[in-house]
Structure formats: C-alpha cells, structure tokens
Structure 1
Amino acid sequence: MSNPVIVALDYARAPEALSLAQRLSPESCRLKVGKELFASSGPELVEELQKLGFDVFLDLKFHDIPNTVAGAVRAVANLGVWMINVHASGGRRMMSAAREALEAFSHRPLLIGVTVLTSMSEQDLIDLGYEESVEQRVMRLASMAAESGLDGVVCSALEAPTLRANLDDDFRLVTPGIRLAGDSAGDQRRVVTPAMAVSSGSDYLVIGRSITGAADPLHALQRVRQELNLSL
C-alpha cells in the first residue's frame, strides 16, 4: 500500500494548516483541504502545500447543475490538485459533465463521488424521505458514480466490503470517519480504526482529529502508519 493516509487540515486559517504541514512529510501522508479552509485561504494555500511536495485532496463536494459543476471542476483541476470530489446525489448527468470537463487534462485529478456522509445515520435518511438503508443508498450512488466514469467514491469503511465485492478493483474507496482506538467519534456516526478500514477494502483513509487534535500530531500519524504496517 503506497501512502494511503490523507490528513484532513480541519483548520479555519492558513497559518495553522501550514504549521502542521511543515511538521509532516509528503512521503508519510497526503493532505485534504476542505470548504472552511479553502473559503478563508483560497488557491494560494493549495499552491503552498503543493510547493511543500504534498498531494492535495480538495474536498469541496460540488453539487449543482451539470454545467456549473463542470466549470467548477475544470477550475480547481487547473490548480494541479491530486483529487477532487462531487456529490453523487447530483445525478448521472452532473457526474458525467464533471468527468468530461477533465478529459482535456493530461494529468487530471482523481474525481471522486460522495455517497452518504459519515455523519449521517439511518434516521437521517428516513428524515430526508429515503426508504433505503444507508448501505443500499451508498451502493446505489457508488454504482451510478462508476457508470458515470468517476474514479471512486467517498464512503464509510462499514460499506466498503459491499462496494469492493460489487465494483471493479481499481475503483477507489476513500474513507473518512477514521479514528484511532480510544479517540472520540465527535460528530461522526459511522467510524472505524485505520486497520479496520483497510481490511474492509478502503484505498485511502481520511484522518482529521485523531492527528490534528493530538498533543503530538506527528506521533499520532506515526501510530496510524504503524497500525497499517507502513514504514515510518
């Protein structure tokens, strides 16, 4: 397994994000920039992280009409990021438009579809009017993403075994909601440990608070890599 750990830079401002990034190594992890950090710090932060040598997952979860999403995907791809995502619930036409927007790029980013947020429970789906279970809805959206030409999906490791059994081996599974043993689940509902996620079929593990909230983030990252039997 090569560099499966993605550290979520869940900070409000660039200085804190850069401070942590400068303590980490591109050989030991990739980095995720989400909505709050990107809104406050913009493309300049992404460029700074890339200058440090990191692959960047730009986690903006686009969800809009197909033409708008295609334009947004094209714009962030021009930043040279490693991975971007859209909400699979935007439908086939939206996902296909996003995929087509990347065809002109010689080194295009991975395009990933978000299925069901790991903060959501079965009751949340019921409240939204869905009659499917979480696993059924994740499977439906992941299949739609694969048929639309996406490279993979964001899902909980709890759904990963079903997806791995039903989708191509090269279809990437990106798993948030990862916590080290003993850590609080916070606002996540469907959480697992790093080793459990990999054994379930996850390709990439998004880890935020277990690393960023640790007294020693570098040591926490080393714990993750040790749990996955990766060299330090």
Structure 2
Amino acid sequence: MADDRLIAALDVPTRGEAEALVARLGDSVAYYKVGMELFYACGGDIVMWLKEQGKKVFLDLKLHDIPNTTAQGLCSLLRLRPDILNVHTAGGLRMMRAAADALHAAAEERGAACPKLIGVTVLTSMDTGDWAGLGHAGTIEDAVLRRARLAREAGLDGVVASPQETALIRRTCGADFLVVTPGIRPAGASRDDQRRVTTPAEAVRAGASHIVVGRAIYAAEDPRAAAEQVLREMEEI
C-alpha cells in the first residue's frame, strides 16, 4: 500500500502527460499535488479525475489576496473535493482566519468533508540573498516560524515549509500541526531551482507530515522506480 506521506507533484503541462504519469506510477503513489501549471491548463477536471481514480489531492494554488476574495476562492474549490488546499501566509492573520472560517462554514453547509487548509511560509526557492533583496532584516528561519505561529492562531491545519525549518515548527506548533515539505531531493539528485533542500529521510526525521517530490519522480526514466526509491529512503529513519 502506498505511503500517504509521499505526495508526487504533477508538474506537467497537459492532462495527457498527467494521466500517463499516474498510470506509470500505479499503486506506488496515492497522493498527488496539482499546482498552477496543470490546474491552469486543465481546470478542475484533472482534480476530479484523480479523485475518481481513488487518489488524494493537494491542490497547490497558494491563494493570496484580500480576506474576502481569498475566502470565497477557497469555497469555490470545495466542489473539486481536494484533500489539502493552501493560502500564502504573507496575506496575514486576518486573511488566513477569514479563509479558515469560510472554508469550514461552507463545508458544513454543503455536508462535505472539509479539506485541510495549510499556509505557505517562505518559498523553498528563496535563499538568504533573495530574502535580503526583498528588504527583510530578519532571517528566513525567523519569518517561517513567525508565519507558522500565525497560521496556527488563524485556525489553519498546518504549513508548507522547507525541511530546514520542519523540526523547529514541529517543536513550536505541536504534533498535530501539518508540516508539508517541498524541496525534497533523493540522495545524489540535482537541486534544480530549489535552494533549501534535503533528502526524504532527513525530512521525515525532522518531523514532516508529508514530503512533496517533483522532478526526481516525473522526470525520471522510470518514475515508478524513482518513487519507490523515495519511499525506501523515507524508511531510513
């Protein structure tokens, strides 16, 4: 049985490529991330198709707008039955609280299961130079922890953060707080455009609830073998 802690990123441009990848991965992967590239190309149909295949879906659209717009945007996505939705914590406490409250209320009104709602802290593609270039005086780690605390206060179920901050978030926000970690690269793999990266085993050891793996699986010559390698590395704890 597939390990739900592994989320494979469907970062491909067409539905045909997504369906082919899911077929090749078979029962080795049960959880998929649908991000902007695929969602903007295919719309909600790809999410509903994945659900029909018995898969779980993290719909990674990083909503970030004024509180009401973000909240209503999330409610519009409920019909797709995603398992995880996200917003960007940079929108602030009021935005996150409005999003969580509206999503729970809409799910209850519709008699639907409420997706987990998590907040993106700081993108894993950013390094200290990028961060300073935006005018931030503090460290990335300080910002991630502060935003994780705000997300918890707002009623979110967890955050997206790099593996470097996972252990600190886990200690601060508790065992039930989701920590979803992108920037995962199997041992020996290229970093590509990620900066704050680590291996599957290190991420799980640090306390990650889920790890998100993209290129290392979908760009592999044998995606299923690559996914199974990640799963083996996750057990090396």
Give the alignment's TM-score, normalised by structure 2.
0.94
AA partner of residue 87 (structure 1): H
Match of 1:29 in 2: 30
Q: Does 1:59 align with 2:60?
A: yes
Aligned-residue CA RMSD in angstroms?
Answer: 1.4
1:197 aligns with: 203
Deviating 4+ runs (over 6 angstroms): none
8 Å contact kept, 1:83–1:110: yes
Deviations 1:91-135 (A, max 9, x none): 011001110111231410000000000000111111111111010
Q: Distance in 2 between matches of 1:23 and 1:49?
A: 14
- Which letter maps to 1:122? T
Cα separation, 1, equivalents of 2:190 and 2:34: 22
* Distance (whole Å) between structure 1 residues aligned to residue 19 and residue 80 of structure 2: 18
SS at 1:153 equivalent: strand
**In the aligned structure 1, how far is the partner of 2:55 from the partner of 2:26?**
8
The aligned counterpart of 2:45 is 44
1:223 pairs with 2:229? yes
Aligned match for 2:184, one of 174, 178, 181: 178
- Give the number of aligned pairs: 230
| Correspondence for 1:153 among 138, 144, 159 | 159
Structure 1 residue 3: Cα displacement: 1.5
Aligned residues with identical type, % of pairs: 47
**Letter aligned with residue 125 of structure 1:** W
What is the TM-score normalised by the length of structure 1?
0.96
Looking at structure 1, the residues matched to 28 and 150 of structure 2 have their Cα atoms a distance apart, in angstroms, of: 33
In the alignment, the residues of structure 2 paired with residue 167 and residue 63 of structure 1 have an alpha-carbon distance, to the nearest angstrom, of: 23
Aligned equivalent of 1:17:
18
Q: If each structure's helix is expressed as a fraction of its own residues, which one has the higher value?
A: 2
Is 2:26–2:224's contact at 8 Å kept on the other side of the alignment? no
* Secondary structure of 2:196 counterpart: coil
Aligned to 2:175: 169
Name the stretch that deviates more: 21-30 or 54-63: 21-30
Q: 1:164-193 deviations in whole A, cap 9, x for unaligned?
A: 111121000000000111111000000100
Deviation of residue 25 (structure 1)?
3.7
- Residue identity opposite 1:90 in structure 2: G
**Which structure 2 residue ranges, 5 or more long, are not aligned?**
none
1:23 alignment partner, SS class? helix
- Alpha-carbon distance between aligned partners in 2 of 1:20 and 1:61, rounded to the nearest angstrom: 24
Please tell me whether the aligned partners of residues 35 and 60 of structure 1 are also in contact (alpha carbons under 8 angstroms).
yes
**Greater CA drift, 85-94 or 23-32:** 23-32
Q: Name the residue aligned to 2:100.
A: 99
Counterpart amino acid of residue 211 in structure 1: I
Question: Which letter maps to 2:71?
Answer: A
